[in-house]
Each structure stands twice: as structure tokens, then as C-alpha cells.
Amino acid sequence: MSRVLLSVDNLHASYGPIRALRGVSFEVREGETVSVIGANGAGKTSLMRAISGLLPLSEGKASFLGKDIRTSAPHQLARMGMLHVPEGRGTLQTMLVEENLRLAWEIRPTDRPFADAVAEVYSRFPRLQERSTQLAGNLSGGEQQMLAVARAIINRPQLLLLDEPSMGLSPRFTSEVFRALRELRDAGVSILLVEQNVSRALGLAHRAMVLTHGEFTLEGPAADLAHDPRVMASYMGHADADAR
């Protein structure tokens, strides 16, 4: 069995008095793609923020490669190989596309020269090569999402965290982004994806979990959940808007 990269046990997290996560537990193993799906307000973004060290844990524990996330700053987790593509993309708008990629590559230096790393990224996202000398802020929303993913994968992450990669994208750009994610999955990159687009998320993942009001209410093989009527039923309930 492949080794565990991320281990989460009875994790709770809050924004002041608002409880965003209520005792979630799961693992992501090497070479595995896991999707977390749920309605707006279910706590998906809070989960990603807690795992990447941006939201303090109020109870429970989480570890990446055996290291306690509570004692690790986000930049340390990134150097270890956990790369987070946040909701809203997070590119450096006033810098060129290739400057964005170089800065990302420098976060986690490897023996591979930048020229080789950026060539691999451009092979996955040819559109970025065409835009390499443009400011990131001048890219379309879909191109900025491609750049955000490219920034994360340029130094071959151990675990890629993706928060709503299809948000705000046209169907064409959504297809392009998920094509690249399928290639990464097939190349053995471990992925934890939170996504409101159920069909895309379940089509990409090996396993999936449904998050409702900060708790997992369903989990199992993604192919099975794709045909489970309870998955869509979970989107019909009211979620706490403040839970994000």
C-alpha cells in the first residue's frame, strides 16, 4: 500500500464563534486523487486553509509527511512539497507570467534547472507560453487559473491542494484546466481537490467525500458516489453562509 502523505484526525476549526469544521478525519496517499464536494458554505475552503496552515486548528491534528501542521508555517509546508492553489488564484498581477513561474520555482528549489521546469509547464499549458511576457493581471480568468496551477506544479509538488479550480471559468477553460489535472493525476501527482462542480470532481478523483455543515456525511470511491442520489440531495440543504 502507498504511503500516507496527509493525515487528518478529528479536525475542528472556527472563525471566532462560527464553527467551520466539526471533527473531520481522512487521509491522502501517494499517487491518490481525493475530491471533497459540497454546497456553498459547507466548509470546503476552511478545510483547505486549515490543512495548509492558514486557519488554526481548534481541536484535532493534521500532519504532512509525518510533520505536525500546527507547528509548521505555510511556507515551510510549501518547501516540503504541499502546494496550495487557493480560491481566487493568488497570482502576482503586476509581474509577467514567466516571472510568476520563476518565483514559484524558487520556493522549492530542486536539482532541475528552471528552463527544464518551465518547459514542462508550458507543455501542459501552451497558452501560458504564448502569454509568457504579458502581465498576469492582463490574462483572462481562465488563463490566470492556468497560471495559478502552473505555479504550484512547476516544482513537482508531493501534494497539490486545489480550491475550486473551476470557479468563474467558462466551460472551455474549465475543460482545459481539468485536462491538465487529469494528466497530473495520471503522472502520479497526489491531489486534494475541493470543488462545487460535482461531475468534474468525481470524474477526476479516485475517492471522494461529501462535506455538509463542516462534517463528512458521505465518502467512498468516486465512481460509486457519482451514482449515489444522496450526493445531489446534500446540495439541497441550507448551509451556514459564514462557514465558507
Q: Are strands 4-15 and 18-29 parallel, antiparallel or unpaired?
A: antiparallel
pLDDT of residue 89: 62
CA proximity to 97, closest of 142, 148, 141, 164: 148
pLDDT of residue 235: 65
pLDDT of residue 238: 39
- Which string of b and e fits 113-131 if b means at least 16 CB within 10 Å? ebeebbeebbebbebbeeb
- Which string of b and e fits 156-174 if b means at least 16 CB within 10 Å? bbbbbbbbbbbeebeeebb
Rounded Cα distance between 202 and 102, Å, is 32
Per the structure block, which three cell numbers stand in for 175?
475543460
- Segments making up each domain of the chain, as ranges: 4-90+159-243
Per-residue pLDDT in tens (0 to 9) along the chain, 244 residues:
789 999 999 999 999 888 999 999 999 999 999 999 988 889 999 999 999 999 999 999 999 999 999 998 888 998 899 998 887 666 778 899 999 999 989 887 677 899 999 999 999 899 999 999 999 999 988 888 889 989 888 988 899 999 998 888 888 888 988 998 999 999 999 999 998 889 999 999 999 999 999 999 999 999 999 999 888 777 654 333 333 4
> What is the third-level CATH fold of 4-90+159-243?
Rossmann fold (3.40.50)
Contacts of 88 (CB under 8 A, 6+ apart): none
